[in-house]
Structure 1
């Protein structure tokens, strides 16, 4: 990855900034099951697009329902389920996430958040790292179906605040294979956050990976200079 002075950093949220994957997935499955899908597949990585809205639409098509998928009802059911989940297990940050976000701000990087989660969940997760979703650029699966669409919109929003940014100064940070694939499809540099088996999936594909943001700041901050 070439070093750059500043630009746009696009963050995934679940598993990247917040330890929230388990709560999110439980709430999402509960919400999906309210639609009585006859054969709901719960290996989310097997769906064509790894976003909440795309998974919902694909499950709807597989059920051969005649009506159109009701995303607003999914949003409502997800909100109810997620509030229950986080009441018993609140979201926590991935170590150093808030510090690193502040470092980027202090060094004039434009930060944008792009997630395959529905918007309500994304707002709650950002709050766990001290980010007010009303004051930042956030793109979610409530607005777009695919990771690539979500990231493209994030770049567009980030570019409005940083007009000089171009491809070599846009960096994507995520924890999942789908984050890396979207970055590769859009020809973006990628940095992984993760450990153990999750990290190995990314490192095997050539991505630099750090187990948390303190480690990134101690050993990989040159990627941002």
Structure 2
């Protein structure tokens, strides 16, 4: 009981690109224009940050490629992404967390799953829920992952798990799970979610979270002018 009470609160990380036309959600074009795709990305990022704001945490870090905008809520520290491929940027994000909050677990989430709910993370990350857990893995239905957490993050461990893993492929998640197993980490699986990559994904995700900014923005872009609301 004493160990549970003394458990440090987690660090929550989001890795994201600033939602600018032509730089984000390019697979949504067509049917959407680059400006519309950026609007959807902004809504997804805003929903993600707001939801994570309801998850108990010690620090909230946005590891950002670009500049923050009106979508950034209070309570988030912004850190610039390092250069290089995505695997290197993920390693660097965990290294940031380990330096800024030594001894605290860290969980990283992307900006492409605005439908997740706070309870799906708050329970597993609570002091009681994380007892005996070394890592958390949130699979994406396209074969990737939407969340990855480490109970005792370090740059060395993150590099062992992520360096040179092929990213954005149907086998990305499998590679990471194999490395978690090879490192003999006890891993708790989080719910499987759909990434917003294509227009069909956007509609599926909006249906799962109809009251969020993302769903509202998608409705605004796809409802014919003059149609009844």
Task: Please indicate the TM-score interval, normalised by the length of the shorter structure.
Answer: 0.3 to 0.5
Higher relative helix content: 1
TM-score normalised over the length of structure 2: 0.37
Greater RCO (CA < 8 Å, at least 6 residues apart):
1
TM-score normalised over the length of structure 1: 0.37
